[in-house]
Structure 1
Amino acid sequence: MTNRRQRENKRMKKNNKKQAQKQSGPPKNNSRPPKPQKRNENKVTAMVTCKELTSDGKGIVEWEGKQLEVPHLLTGEKAEILVNAKGRFANPKVKRIIKAHETRVTPPCPYYYECGGCQLQHMSNQAQNDFKQDVVNKLMKPFGKPNPIMTMKHPYDYRNKSHMTYAMTNDRQIIGGLYASNSHSIIDIDKCLIQDPQADDIAQTIKRIMKKYKMQPYDEDTGKGFLRHVLIKVGKESGQVMVVLVAASPIFTGQKNFVKLLREKHPQISTVLLNINDRDTSVVLGNQEKVLYGKGTITDTLGGLTFEISSKSFYQINPPQTEKLYGKAIEMAQLTGQETVIDAYCGIGTIGLIASEKAGNVIGVEQNKDAVGDAIRNSKRNDIQNARFYQGDAGEFMTEMASRGEKADVVILDPPRSGSDEAFLSSVVKLKPKRVVYVSCNPETQARDMKYLVKNGYKVKEIQPVDMFPQTYHVESVCLLERA
């Protein structure tokens, strides 16, 4: 198993070098006539026409009576695709574009067709915006017409959080980068176009230091090796940088020299942590952690406030667009300085603390104990007196408020991609706030949840999509609901 994975990594490294020299991918218009279907080792080539796109940007085609979803196709394009003729999954891939759509562009990233991090780089920026607008429009059609999407002027270099993984090839070379799409094979990447450039440089330096000190990357199959992942967080406004070394063991030989060399090359690094993850899991961070350099946290500025960020803190990955998103959410809340605002799923308190300037008082509720601690510290750091944070289930918290006859004027919620559950939504209905501001990174689950609220006395007044994740199919949406 290990040798096969190492051979795959070696092959991918060679392919990446070729890609860097010429940006590969599905060829554009080709005058050669399409080849007839032919079978070779269970692979079939077939001529197809893309009918439309899925919400995650894949092209829908018909093949032998089946509907397939093919990555990197655009509506109306004719293409030759490669499919797996046997087995449960066809895993279709574009082999050759016969007729290209006018919005197709050459992806600027040489790793695009192997890496699964981005899905829309074969579209022009305008086409990406139109695609995301259309996705939100369709999902929100029962509730009204969404506003034009808030776009990003420079849709690259925006991620303030980067995650890199390292591995050893068959010829004993250390590679580092991202997982290939739908696999655990690592693509050796020098630069990711949507990450902060500092993170790419630091990741490359770590790879060189590993070679110098003969540090072994962790092998998932054998359970041997030391370094599993590297997590890098960048304060876009503060300029502070956090480096988290995720290791399989707390025994770090030569850690002082490692940190010294890393900071000599990158003096902007504010803190370095060692996180221990000795479990057989795909979860990146473990529970044990120690600081090797600095305070163990960094700060950044958002909405005029300073926030402390730890290794496990949830902090929006695109600060410029977050300013737009949160600004719109607070505008929808229509605060006059008298309202009681509940910030459900409050995390480290970002949106609640920003709203506190215009609210009477803010109540933040969050399940994660560490996040609540961060929120309280952020409140004190910014000298905010009218915000309180509690650990617990937000739905239960609001149900108890309602049973005591207490009121809230506005509920702001920003749940995970899975959305809210009926228990939480029913607690909102019981509490009867005048306005609900629903921030979501998944408009599909947002639309599902809003359907419940509409059935129970609320009306959707405004829908605003925001492109928080350029080059990917993800789109954020914030909606205002008012009690009828």
Structure 2
Amino acid sequence: MNKRKHKGHRKSEKKPNRLKKQNIKPNSSRNQADGKPKGKQKTVTAEVTCSGLTNEGKGIVEWEGKRLEVAHLMPGEKAEVIVSKRGRYVNAELKRVIKPSKDRITPPCEYYYACGGCQLQHMNEQAQTRFKQETVDALMEPFIKPEAILTMDDSYDYRNKSHTTFGLNKERQVIGGLYAQNTHQIIPMERCLIHDPKADEIVQTIKGMLKSSKMQPYNEDTGQGFLRHVLVKVGKGSGEIMVVLVVASPVFKGKNNFVKALRKAHPEITTLLMNINNRDTSMILGDQEKVLFGKGTITDTLCGLKFEISAKSFYQINPVQTEKLYGKAIEMAELTGKETVVDAYCGIGTISLIASRKAGKVIGVELNKDAVRDAIRNSKRNGVKNARFYQGDAGEFMVQMAARGEKADVVIMDPPRSGSDEAFLSSVVKLQPKRVVYVSCNPETQARDMKYLVKNGYKVEGVQPVDMFPQTHHVEAVAKLVLKEAGNR
């Protein structure tokens, strides 16, 4: 990775390094026991040495024979931590670093310790890469040695989707920002360094318009107010921008003036929507949607194909790295132009349509009917004739294919973070494709699922990690599994 210079982005000096004071303390991890904490909380300060990192990038330390996890601590570092005990619960958070690692830097983001959305900004990019590589290597050790992780040259400003929550502070002033980790407390912020800069600029304009208008942010506690969230999607290739105002009521007073003023301030906005979410829920988007300006969708180009993206569409948030990821997935599929490919969890058809250029036939299956509709539209938009999309459970679909005696040469699967369940994996085994290409945003559940496939006749022939989410502990990986010959199982 090439280091990108930001204000304050430097290596720490060789002296104790205190964390910046924040209005919200860094969130510590809960350790040891399950169940509700009982008894009075006791707090002590302890000096510890970090022996390694968890898969979430937290430092591992030992205290009174207990293994504790401490956010923002690095291997080899000596530090003071605040240990809190209540009943069987033991929490630990970093107070100060006594002996910093040579790989420690000052996080460029002023909200880093309060937010929790990024977990690795205190590491230089070499340390981040090493951590992610070692995480995937350890998880895949039972199967194969993974390839070197594909990193990103510019590891900031990459997100094509941003979500901002609005509210009022104690002085009744309008604030907009992100929730502190594991809370519903809004951290007011003007700029997130991994968001698209234009998206943050638009959000700041909306915040200013709120201050000068009678539009009130929504209050979760009282149920009063109007604007809950602002969702911005940016087509990194096309330059098109979607803004979604998530509101608590369909009655939008001053709507025309608001739309006119926002478009004047940001003529680059190509569509503006109002999404109505009046439910007491943690879900951002509601079911009702109204287009205030434009066509209600944006398009973007990925791997040479055009995709239409709606407010609810799933679309990978880092298109630069997605092209590397999908390119590797198609390479692992070993397509010659004759194969039948099943794309399970196909979403809006990105992998399906990319695969269609080298496959004989592609079958995309997706449970979300809106995504299937988008996939069909995207297929027509790109003039693809050899891909078909079906709404339904992918596992059941493949079981039915096997029952009818139909074959698939390749199954491409890209499940959610929780991975697949045994019902789906058993359907893959019943269909017996020659190759399975498993794309995952969580190598931990990927390794679990691969263990099932290996037990049932498959061999892992390659794993490629991709750093899709720089500055965070998340890492993507794509794996190639091949069906063993009957006599070699």
Which residue identity does 2:228 align to in structure 1? Answer: R
Aligned to 1:198: 198
Does the 8 A contact of 2:241 with 2:269 survive in 1? yes
| Equivalent of residue 29 in structure 1, options 8, 15, 25 | 15
* Compared CA separation, residues 172 and 145, structure 1 to 2 (3 A): same
Find the aligned partners of 2:165 and 2:13 in 1 and give their Cα distance.
Answer: 30
How far does residue 430 in structure 1 lie from its aligned partner after superposition? 0.7
Paired position in structure 1 for 2:454: 454
Structure-1 separation of matches of 2:279 and 2:447: 37
1:438 Cα shift? 0.3
The one-letter code sitting in structure 1 at the alignment partner of 2:405 is G
Q: Deviations over 1:11-46 (max 9, x none)?
A: xxxxxxxxx99899x9972399xxxxxxx9843211
Separation of aligned partners in 2, 1:31 and 1:407:
60
Using a 3 Å threshold, how does the CA distance of structure 1 residues 203 and 455 change in structure 2: closer, same or farther?
Answer: same
CA contact (8 A) 2:8 2:108 kept: no
Correspondences of 1:51-66 after superposition (within 5 Å): 51-66=51-66
**Superposition deviation, residue 61 in structure 1:** 1.2
Contact map agreement 2:347 2:368 (CA 8 A) in 1:
yes
Q: Measure the CA separation in 1 of the matches of 2:398 and 2:9.
A: 54
Task: Give me the CA root mean square deviation.
Answer: 2.0
Counterpart of 1:221, as a letter, is D
TM-score (norm 2): 0.91
Partner of 1:142: 142
Residue of structure 1 in register with 2:487 after alignment = none
Per-residue displacement from partner, 1:277-305 (whole Å, max 9, x unpaired)?
A: 11111010000111011100000000100
Kept after mapping to 2: 8 A contact 1:28/1:97? no
Cα distance in 2 between the residues matched to 1:479 and 1:41: 46
Aligned residue for 1:407?
407
- For 1:411-455, what per-residue CA distance to the aligned partner results, in whole angstroms no more than 9, with x for missing partners? 000000000111111111111111000000000000000001101
User: Structure 2: how far apart are the matches of 1:219 and 1:395?
Assistant: 42
- Residue aligned with 2:139, SS: helix
Matched, 1:309 2:295: no
Q: 2-side partners of 1:385 and 1:85: how far apart? A: 62
- Residue 253 of structure 1 corresponds to which residue in structure 2? 253
Determine the C-alpha separation between the residues in 1 that align with 2:269 and 2:360: 39
Structure-to-structure mapping, 1:106-117, within 5 angstroms: 106-117=106-117
**Shift in Å, 1:265:** 1.0
- Structure 1 contact 300–309 (Cα < 8 Å) conserved: yes
Query: What SS does structure 2 have at the residue aligned with 1:372?
Result: helix
Per-residue deviation, 1:407: 0.5
Whether 1:105 and 2:105 are equivalent positions in the alignment is yes
SS at match of 1:463: strand
Contact persistence 1:27–1:97 (CA under 8 A): no
- 1:27–1:96: 8 Å Cα contact kept in structure 2? no
- State the partner residue of 2:363: 363
> Deviation at 1:222?
1.0
What is the Cα deviation at residue 48 of structure 1? 1.0
Aligned partners of 2:442, 2:41: CA distance in 1, in Å? Answer: 39
Q: Are 2:168 and 2:175, in contact at CA under 8 Å, matched by a contact in 1? A: yes
SS across alignment from 1:92: strand
State the one-letter code of the partner of 2:184.
H
Unaligned runs of 5+ in 1: 1-19, 33-39
The CA distance in 2 between the partners of 1:268 and 1:420, in whole Å, is: 40
Paired position in structure 2 for 1:47:
47
Partner residue, 2:228: 228
Q: 1:445 to 1:381 in 2, by over 3 A?
A: same
Q: Does 1:468 align with 2:468?
A: yes
Identify the residue that residue 167 of structure 1 maps to in structure 2.
Answer: 167
Q: Please tell me the residue identity of whatever aligns with 1:184.
A: H
Per-residue CA deviation, residues 91-121 of structure 1 (Å, 9 max, x unaligned), is: 4221110011111111010110100110000
Report deviation, 1:180: 1.1
Q: Deviations over 1:373-421 (max 9, x none)?
A: 0000000000100000000000100000001110100000000000011
1:294-352: per-residue Cα shift (whole Å, max 9, x none)? 10000000010000000000000000000000000000001000000000000000001
In 1: Cα distance, 2:56 partner to 2:81 partner: 19
Q: Within 2, Cα distance between the matches of 1:92 and 1:241? A: 42
| Counterparts of 2:394 and 2:327, CA distance in 1 | 23
Identity of aligned pairs, percent? 71
Query: Which letter maps to 2:166?
Result: Y
Any residues of structure 2 matched to 1:31-430 within 5 Å, and which?
42-86=42-86, 89-430=89-430
SS at match of 1:343: strand
Counterpart residue type for residue 262 of structure 1? L
Partner of 1:482: 482
Q: Quick one: which amino acid aligns to residue 430 of structure 1?
A: K
State how many pairs are aligned.
Answer: 458
Letter in 1 for 2:409: D
CA distance in 2, matches of 1:336, 1:31: 56
| Letter of the structure 2 residue corresponding to residue 414 of structure 1 | D
In structure 2, the residue matched to 1:445 is 445
Cα offsets for 1:238-282 (capped at 9, x unmatched): 000000100111111011111111111111101111101111110
Match of 2:34 in 1: none
Shift in CA distance, 123/87, structure 1 to aligned 2, threshold 3 Å: same
What's the counterpart of residue 5 of structure 1?
none
The whole-number CA distance in structure 1 between the counterparts of 2:459 and 2:242 is 43
Look up the SS of the partner of 1:202 in the other structure. helix
* Contact kept in structure 2, 1:152 and 1:321, CA below 8 Å: yes
C-alpha separation in 2, matches of 1:424 and 1:28: 52
